[in-house]
Structure 1
Amino acid sequence: MKKDIGISTPLYPAPALVVAAYGTDGRPGGLMVAWGGVCNSEPPCISVAVAKSRHTLEGILEKKAFTVNIPSEAQAAEADFFGLASGRDTDKFSAAGLTPKKGDIADAPLIEEFPVSMECEVVQFLDLGSHILFVGKVVKTWAREECLDEKGYPDPEKVRPLVFAPRTGKYFGLGDLVGKAFGEGKKFLPNKS
């Protein structure tokens, strides 16, 4: 039997993303974001929710651009640091030993060492209360070569993305392969013979 636990958002897992932008002073900065994901296929768009208190918010609003950077499990400390320190008084890239690289299209820095980075241009934003929800159109995607599959797409088993469990404050890896999408449920389809 289920128990009422009140109003909560136990959506597991949440992606652990580092969203980066240039600050109003032109310096690269970023923050850890767990409220994000794909929100449209054509054009490809990513949504990220940024707390109003975050320094990086000002840069995203000014430049109308950001990058979404996917850290690996091995980069948990670097990614977590982007959620601990403030860009108001810390050069997060330098402190974490990471390299900001100017995007080719979006006016935002990507993180060279992380397996996957997506350049995004803001197409919409919405004030939801504690956070501003940004929808960014993906204008270019970068991936480290060693993380690509035979078709040239990022392979989750090679990327080994860091994931976050809301409310518990814990990071995890993906875990074992469970099955193939659009295949496992076929056993419930009516037999069409």
Structure 2
Amino acid sequence: MMLCPINMECRVVHELDLGGTNIIIIGEVVQTYSEEKYLTNNIPDLKKINPILVSIYEFNYYNVGEKIGKAWDVGKNYGN
């Protein structure tokens, strides 16, 4: 059993110290790993992965919803 459907190996490119314990780390993905059951045509499939999102601000978890349209196209009218 895989605990995380998609794993990404990253190389640290830059660290930005925001003070205190706050650091932003910029990374470059150098390798990805996944079980075949989470892929379609060798590409990660969101329906098979069924990811959850966390809102730290709200302390809530969310599922990824239905497709709303084609990227860089639907966004022109989304929310209007």
Matched with 1:123 is: 13
Matched with 1:140 is: 31
Looking at structure 2, the residues matched to 131 and 120 of structure 1 have their Cα atoms a distance apart, in angstroms, of 20
Looking at structure 2, the residues matched to 184 and 135 of structure 1 have their Cα atoms a distance apart, in angstroms, of 29
Looking at structure 2, the residues matched to 185 and 138 of structure 1 have their Cα atoms a distance apart, in angstroms, of 26
Identity %: 37
CA contact (8 A) 2:38 2:45 kept: yes
Looking at structure 2, the residues matched to 124 and 185 of structure 1 have their Cα atoms a distance apart, in angstroms, of 30
Between structure 1 and structure 2, the one with the greater Rg is 1
Q: CA deviation at 1:156?
A: 1.1
Q: Bigger relative contact order, structure 1 or 2, given CA contacts below 8 A and separation 6+?
A: 1
Count of residues in correspondence between the two structures? 76
TM-score, L = length of structure 2: 0.78
- Alpha carbon RMSD of aligned pairs, Å? 2.1
SS in 2 for 1:128: strand
Structure 1 runs not aligned, ≥5 long: 1-97, 99-111, 188-193
Of 57, 69, 77, 1:179 maps to: 69
Matches within 5 A, 1:20-169: 112-129=2-19, 130-150=21-41, 152-169=42-59
Cα deviation, 1:115-166, whole Å, max 9, x if unaligned, reads: 000011111101113411111221111112111122x111111111110123
Deviating above 2 A after TM superposition, structure 1's stretches of 4 or more consecutive aligned residues are 182-187
Structure with higher helix content:
1
Structure 2 runs not aligned, ≥5 long: none
Q: 1:131 to 1:183 in 2, by over 3 A?
A: same
Q: 1:122 to 1:186 in 2, by over 3 A?
A: closer
